[in-house]
Amino acid sequence: MNAENAEKTKAKLLVWIHSDLALLLGIAAVKLLIHLLTSGQYGYFRDEFYYIAASKHLAFGYVDFPPFIALITALVRATLGESLLALHLMPAVAGALVVLFTGLMARQLGASRYDQAVAALCALIAPTFLGADSILTMDPFDQLVWVLASYVLIGIFKHDRPKGWLGFGLIAGIGLTIKVSMLYFGAALIIGLALTLWRKYFRSKWLWFGGGIALVFLLPYIAWNASHGWPTLEFYRNYSGKVYPASALQFLLQQIILIHPVSIGVWVAGLAYTFSKDGQRYRPLGWAYLALLIIFIVQNAKNYFLAPAYPMLLALGVVAFERFIPRKSLLQWLMPTYPALLVFGLLSAPYALPVLPAGTLVQVLKTVGGVNVQSERVESGVLPQHFADRFGWPELTEKVTQVYQSLPPEEQPHAFIFTGNYGEAGALEFFGKAEGLPRIISGHNNYYLWGPGDCTGQVMIFVVSPNSRAELQHDFADVRQVEEVNCRYCMPYEAEMAIFVCRGSRVPIEELWRGVKNFN
């Protein structure tokens, strides 16, 4: 009997190994492994320091983001620690789930095992996902909830299942605690429903119940904003000024690069499929994508904001190829080679992932001319911004520590350190705790709301641009530049910074603080 049970178990295992789900899990595991193996190649990303700081000030909201990222960072710090591997594990898991559910969406649409794998591989090699999933930011989790919501939507449209709107509302609500861009997805979906026969759902109580569930998740963030003078609205008023002003054509070309040129045929086919007779039940998804594309172009949004909408198009695209390419056509003959082509697409991974040593990457970029899909209105250095923002932080801390320790012993207990942005402030907090640095303050985003503490302004160390001397002399009686910081791989605005020691504030700290607010 035991031998018979063992044989049955072995047979079941073999069946599972050769199943669609096992294949997709294997591709997702490759994605996860890629990120785990590269998680410590470069240093901490500037935003990671900010989220670590926010995790020490848990609240229902922050100037520039809802509460989820601070909460997940606090959870990771409490359970796994603060190492690069610990901080990068959850984004990597989220990215692996995006790959898995891209394949599962294709499966739900009726794609073959082969085409499910193609969809998953397209999601795996997309540079925008490789880059986002390699660091702890809101984006990996935002992308995941969009994909989960898309999976639910496909089920709703495939089976005409109105109760599915409850699940969509729950997922969208969680998404609103991550990033308010989920509101755009919801608005675009409403447009898609209104332009199709699925507008009938506007008469369904389940759609409105689902919307109500999503709204409940957003209410704490709205309440927090109301109690703090609506800082997020001020942040977004200033936000467009920092985004790279891409033309409509540039934005479209950036999409091709971010999702990978190898995959363009798949997601374009997916979009076209929604407007075909065979794919008309999924037409709201096609209209939603087009609405998002137009909205983001008009609003001059960052190019990667549209990225979470592509997995559903990739899933739809492999179905389109499967159903509409004639079996004896040249393209049908070439399709079996497509996964190999996708794997070959991973050769572009060093542009998105910290695979190569920084010096080697600089030489590669010089040789090939560089690929920098710019999203912000800032000058780039020798490395693209998503890499450059991982360098220079320990060196900055070392210089600031030397300056602090050089202060007379009687001044050190009264000294405060001021930085120009949250990256510098967070890095000095993170690395400086072992060096005994005093409190770090800044006027940038939520650091402004955390305030100056009991700073009197009598002794302050400023980490700012070398051109800030005149402004500091206006506010302080004694201003001396005592050190400079140089960083080869940093962004230009942080490659050369000055450290000033200022004494004797000419104005009360309250007045000084009002002048340093910087929400952008």
pLDDT tens-digit readout, 430-448: 999 999 999 999 999 999 9
pLDDT for 246: 83
Residue pLDDT, tens place only, 20-58? 899 999 999 999 999 999 998 999 999 999 999 999 999
DSSP 374-387: --BSS---SS-HHH
Whole-angstrom distance, CA of residue 283 vs CA of residue 275: 6
pLDDT for 435: 92
Domain boundaries, the chain: 13-351, 393-514
Tell me the mean pLDDT in the region 313-337. 76
pLDDT for 3: 61
> Which of the four pLDDT bands, split at 50, 70 and 90, describes residue 325?
confident
Cβ atoms of 181 and 143 within 8 Å: the answer is no
Alpha-carbon separation of residue 153 from 16, 156, 162, 207, 285 (angstroms): 27, 5, 10, 12, 8
pLDDT for 272: 97
> Which of the four pLDDT bands, split at 50, 70 and 90, describes residue 85?
very high
Residue pLDDT, tens place only, 275-285? 999 999 999 99
Whether residue 327 has pLDDT greater than 60? no
Cβ neighbours for 165, distance < 8 A, ≥ 6 positions apart: 156, 201, 204, 206, 207, 209, 210, 211
Whole-angstrom distance, CA of residue 188 vs CA of residue 194: 10
Cβ atoms of 240 and 299 within 8 Å: the answer is yes
Whole-angstrom distance, CA of residue 304 vs CA of residue 146: 13
**Which residue in 31, 17, 174 sits closest to 97, CA to CA?**
31
Whole-angstrom distance, CA of residue 444 vs CA of residue 446: 6
Q: How far is CA 344 from the centre of its chain?
A: 25
Place of tokens 């332009």: 195
Whether residue 8 has pLDDT greater than 70? no
Residue pLDDT, tens place only, 372-382? 566 666 677 88
Would you say how long the chain is, in residues?
520
Burial code (b: 16+ CB inside 10 Å, e: under 16) for 66-105 equals: bbbbbbbbbebbeeeeeebeebbbbbbbbbbbbbbbbbbb
Whether residue 344 has pLDDT greater than 60? yes
How many CB atoms lie under 10 A from the CB of residue 459? 23
Cβ neighbours for 381, distance < 8 A, ≥ 6 positions apart: 388, 489, 490, 491, 492, 495
Cβ atoms of 345 and 129 within 8 Å: the answer is no
Tell me the mean pLDDT in the region 351-364. 90
Q: Between 368 and 448, name the one with better pLDDT.
A: 448
Helix, strand, coil share of the chain (percent; to 5): 65, 10, 25
pLDDT for 13: 54
Mean residue pLDDT across the chain: 92
Residue pLDDT, tens place only, 152-167? 999 999 999 999 999 9
Q: Where are the beta strands (DSSP E) in 351-495?
A: 416-419, 440-442, 459-464, 476-486
Q: How far is CA 77 from the centre of its chain?
A: 19
Whole-angstrom distance, CA of residue 267 vs CA of residue 318: 8
Whether residue 15 has pLDDT greater than 90? no
pLDDT for 305: 95
Cβ neighbours for 265, distance < 8 A, ≥ 6 positions apart: 317
Whether residue 519 has pLDDT greater than 80? yes
**Which residue in 24, 35, 46 sits closest to 378, CA to CA?**
46
3-class DSSP state for residue 516?
A: coil
pLDDT for 289: 98
